[in-house]
Amino acid sequence: MARLKNWPFKSLVKLLEVYGFKLGHTDGSHYFYNGRIRGKERVVQAIYSNREKDSQSDKTIKIAIRHSGIPKEYFEEWIKKGKIHQEIIY
């Protein structure tokens, strides 16, 4: 998987919200968002710390992609074009 570089905390959260995720709970600097993609309940973590608020680590983004069920290509399209794939939200 190629790197998705320079994803600030706010961009990751905005993408999750666009795809219907809602903040479930927080645990310190870890924010957990709950959503439903392709009929499956999902929980995705975003980290807001001094180290990761401006740029989520590559590892955090990889985990977010895997846990969200949203394909990596959709992450890339959203950040470049603002495109949303409604067909996976149910």
Give yes or no for a contact between 82 and 14, defined as CB atoms under 8 angstroms apart: no
pLDDT in tens, 60-82: 899 999 999 999 999 989 888 88
pLDDT in tens, 30-39: 999 999 999 9
Helix, strand, coil percentages (3-state) for the chain, rounded to 5, are 40, 25, 40
Percent of the chain exceeding pLDDT 70 equals 94
Average pLDDT over residues 49-55: 85
